[in-house]
Chain A
């Protein structure tokens, strides 16, 4: 079974509007972390936001927020007030196990969603 599933190969949004990128995950470990990264065409993976499995509140970082629904095993990224520079590939990733554990260094990524922002 896929550990990280991103069902939207591509998404389009109008500039200044909000957009939600979907991510569902599969793990039996009670301790895990969820990440979103942005990858422009240059290739570098840019960290956007992190949510720990024990965090009570949804993570927010500027225009990025993570809609964490633990029971549904979903961690959707919401980008508010989209900008042209937001056009890129977006990856959801998961770390299983507690920080500092043997699996800490391994991130499992989804297939990604290409976001295109129209002017």
Chain B
């Protein structure tokens, strides 16, 4: 079975621009979580979506938003990019109630210049 997929793999943007990152969960998984991993640190939780509703939000500004589609795929949007938004953005999926573990995708590396 295919794992979590993310696109694009790499992205270069300039300050002030907007970016959309995409994630497709493992087939049958209904929950998607997004994490930001700055170089040299552990991932930081941004959002969790389950059944198309936001179920959790980390300590990130309103420039960060996300949504989940009927097929459980998800998009993460970041507006007004800052240099500090440069990071690896990881998406993770889980079935939620019957499965403890979150399975991660390969990530999208975003560089903001």
Number of B interface residues at 8 Å Cβ cutoff, please give it: 29
- Are B50's CB and A105's CB within 8 A? yes
Question: How would residues 76 to 95 of chain B score, 1 for a CB under 8 Å from any chain A CB and 0 otherwise?
Answer: 00000000000010101010
Shortest distance between the CB of B9 and any CB in chain A (Å): 9
Count A/B pairs, Cβ under 8 Å.
Answer: 74
Q: Is the interface of B mostly helix, strand, loop or mixed?
A: strand
Residue-wise interface mask of A (34-48) relative to B, using a CB-CB cutoff of 8 A (1 in contact, 0 not):
010100001111110
Give me the interface of A with B, judged by CB distance under 8 Å. Answer: 4, 33, 35, 37, 42-47, 50, 52, 91, 93, 95, 99-100, 102-112
Does B90 contact A99, Cβ atoms closer than 8 Å?
Answer: no
Interface check B63, CB cutoff 8 A: no
- The chain A residue with its CB closest to the CB of B34 is A105
